[in-house]
Structure 1
């Protein structure tokens, strides 16, 4: 299928992805998995999750291998690869041109529609828990598809929260309730947080945490951009050429700021996010700045654990000064 693994498309902590072709001529991406936990839980998880789906913004699983030590997934081939190649300045080359604002908007809308389907459109609700640019694939027309369901969790649609034994996801995109108890329950709103952080990176063209900026105040982009919005200052974004581009970028920023609110109850659901994206930017109120407040509990030991968990989450997300939490 892969002609002895001749053409490598990419790699990650999971293993390698190779380009292949089926007997009928259809191109595929074959993901060979390594360093799996237990009995290959991640493979079973992905097959169980993605086999339940059928949506234009969710990647199609065409087959899998689960034989002995061999673990592989066969997906539809996506011509333009992952989103991260097109949004971060360090990754953009002549081959991967900077995307226009209209294209970025359509990608953000497509991802939102895919997540809305996973949360509300399936017989069982699927929580992804690893939404990030690397896991968004683009076809030849830059239509986005959500991929990599290795950390996904399937739950009944009527359940609003799920129980979790530990945090899931990638540093920088993990919702605080996955680490800090007492903020709120783990639910589909955790994916909303990850989506908001990702859209913020699409807008800025940089990681949300950028240590190589000129001013310390600019290190955490969401706080910096929120302050500019409140003061009605120029946002200083790249590639803004007309009023339409300006409106698109502002809309994406405001929606992403709503999505990364610390309290899950303050975040919109993905259905509301889709409606906001399709609506007018003038109708969108600017949300309050997302600040972490640790709820006090009666037990000093429990409160210490809460503060320690908050410090760990902030360390991995670099979102605020630790002294503000531990004081």
Structure 2
């Protein structure tokens, strides 16, 4: 709604700018020009526009508009001048010629010969002039009219008493009389700079007194003698007009806001309909469906927070005194139904000891939540990333069992369900531990489903957590995205169990640290003892076993990695039978897998399966 706010502010500024002189120019030609910042006269009684009824103005005070919204006053003899300003107190109107040549416009004009004409010249200094056309070489001691002159002729204004008697009788023979200018202000002729403005005054009607008192002027009702009266300025009319204009400004904003609301509501209803259809299709699974009120009751108004991720926040809750659950409230801003559907669809077909169980769900309007079994020992990350080794209560046998349980859970996702499930976010944080520290894979928001005979999937964008994402997810130069992408993430997880630390990458800010998986590989390749991590000799063998399997799983090319079934067999087998994998950091090219390793390399090209 930020756009709506910006539009509202813009409209208010425009409205304020427009209404500064609204009371002064309600009927002016320049209403539209004033909106764009142009200047124009205020038009009110005694003036009126030719398009308005007669009683709006006084007889003779008629103005008209050009196509460009310029205000025009027509004088006798069809002389048309533009209105620059009207002083209603002094009762003076300023006119100008757009071509800046008033002598041309005033030729033949005689205001005093038209008694019905209400305007007179403001000054009392009048003269009669004749306009004469002379050659450029002629010497004429009079007033040159530059706006009428040209390169081959000059026009002068000559004083005279009547049509035959000139003050300057000895004009050159090359001069020819053109027009008369009768009784016009001398200033128009004498000062070239004042060609632009002609000031006319009026004495009737006498509305200046009303204007000086801050009132308006109008004709009296039922008066046959054109009598006038003063009356207070109509604030009500101003309010009405201002309201109409403001309403016209706000209308587009209201329409836009309603459209945004309609669009959002439509999209949200589509998401809800998609979810409802999905839940109807999976009704055989029969997960318990809760309302949002139930979710608040189960979580005791979201009192105890267990954690927070990119897609939602997890709270602890309980269905009864004996049954505790973990409730994930999905973020509204990031969630369009895909996360919700992925979780429900995936967990709806999974029944495995090493996969978290979905207890129920909530799809109450735009509020969505997932209810899982509660696992009291938090995630595996808590036990392998702690800097305080005293807090790690898991021995190496238990860590081996956890690794084997995770491998079996992933193998079940790849081979044990009716459809193949690719998790795409295997990491310690998404491995939860129950009261006996048995691992359960969780968080299927990024999972994808495909049939078992599909060997690869297409992806438009990378998905997963940095540090655990397989190379082919970023670049198809390494191979196609498939179940081997989960194998890579599992390999990084095993190496983290061995090192008890996070996967560290070599960056500009941290060049002193070596890439952690490569460091482990170098230790094994140089025949160094894994007791660099562990004191006990038996535990060192377990660590070495997990490290070798992890290094097999993180080979650059998917075809060089084992399947999860092979990884399970390797974990269940003896450490002495494992052979050191090729160095995954020496080259980006595919490598040959040793014949003694129970891994089958796929020599055929993987087929891309569309989503």
**Do they fold alike, i.e. is TM over 0.5?**
yes
Counterpart position of 1:61: 358
Distance 1:180 1:220, change over 3 A: same
Between the two proteins, the alignment pairs up a number of residues equal to 290
| Per-residue deviation, 1:14 | 2.0
Pick aligned residue for 1:252 from 541, 546, 568: 546
Does residue 1:285 correspond to 2:582, yes or no? no
C-alpha offsets along residues 245-277 of structure 1, whole Å, 9 cap, x if unaligned?
011000000000000000100100011001000
Does residue 1:204 correspond to 2:499, yes or no? yes
C-alpha offsets along residues 183-218 of structure 1, whole Å, 9 cap, x if unaligned?
111110000000000111111011120679xx9575
Bigger shift: residues 28-37 or 181-190: 28-37
Unaligned runs of 5+ in 2: 1-297, 591-611
Counterpart position of 1:229: 524
Does residue 1:89 correspond to 2:383, yes or no? no
Does residue 1:114 correspond to 2:409, yes or no? yes
Question: For the Cα contact (< 8 Å) 2:384–2:392, is it kept in 1?
Answer: no
Pick aligned residue for 1:170 from 448, 455, 465: 465
Pick aligned residue for 2:485 from 190, 199, 211: 190
Does residue 1:139 correspond to 2:434, yes or no? yes
DSSP-derived class of the 2:477 partner = coil
DSSP-derived class of the 2:478 partner = coil
Q: For 2:333 and 2:489, how far apart are their aligned partners in 1? A: 24
Q: For 1:100 and 1:55, how far apart are their aligned partners in 2? A: 25
DSSP-derived class of the 2:464 partner = coil
Counterpart position of 2:315: 18
C-alpha offsets along residues 157-176 of structure 1, whole Å, 9 cap, x if unaligned?
11011111111100000000
Counterpart position of 1:303: none
Counterpart position of 1:157: 452
Does residue 1:3 correspond to 2:297, yes or no? no
After TM superposition, where is structure 1 displaced by more than 6 Å over at least 4 residues in a row? none
Judging by fraction of residues, say which structure has more strand. Answer: 2
Distance 1:44 1:237, change over 3 A: farther
| Per-residue deviation, 1:71 | 1.4
Question: For the Cα contact (< 8 Å) 2:311–2:334, is it kept in 1?
Answer: no
Bigger shift: residues 47-56 or 14-23: 14-23
Q: For 1:134 and 1:232, how far apart are their aligned partners in 2? A: 32
Counterpart position of 2:565: 271
Query: What do you get for the CA RMSD once the two structures are aligned?
Result: 2.0
TM-score, length of structure 1 as denominator length: 0.84
C-alpha offsets along residues 125-183 of structure 1, whole Å, 9 cap, x if unaligned?
00000000110000011100000000000000110111111111000000000111121
Question: For the Cα contact (< 8 Å) 1:61–1:75, is it kept in 2?
Answer: yes
C-alpha offsets along residues 32-80 of structure 1, whole Å, 9 cap, x if unaligned?
1115546221111111111110000000001111222211110000010
| Per-residue deviation, 1:294 | 7.2
Does residue 1:129 correspond to 2:424, yes or no? yes
Bigger shift: residues 146-155 or 59-68: 59-68
| Per-residue deviation, 1:290 | 1.0
Which structure would you say has the larger RCO, counting Cα contacts within 8 Å and 6 or more residues apart? 1
Unaligned runs of 5+ in 1: 296-327
| Per-residue deviation, 1:6 | 1.5
Distance 1:38 1:138, change over 3 A: closer
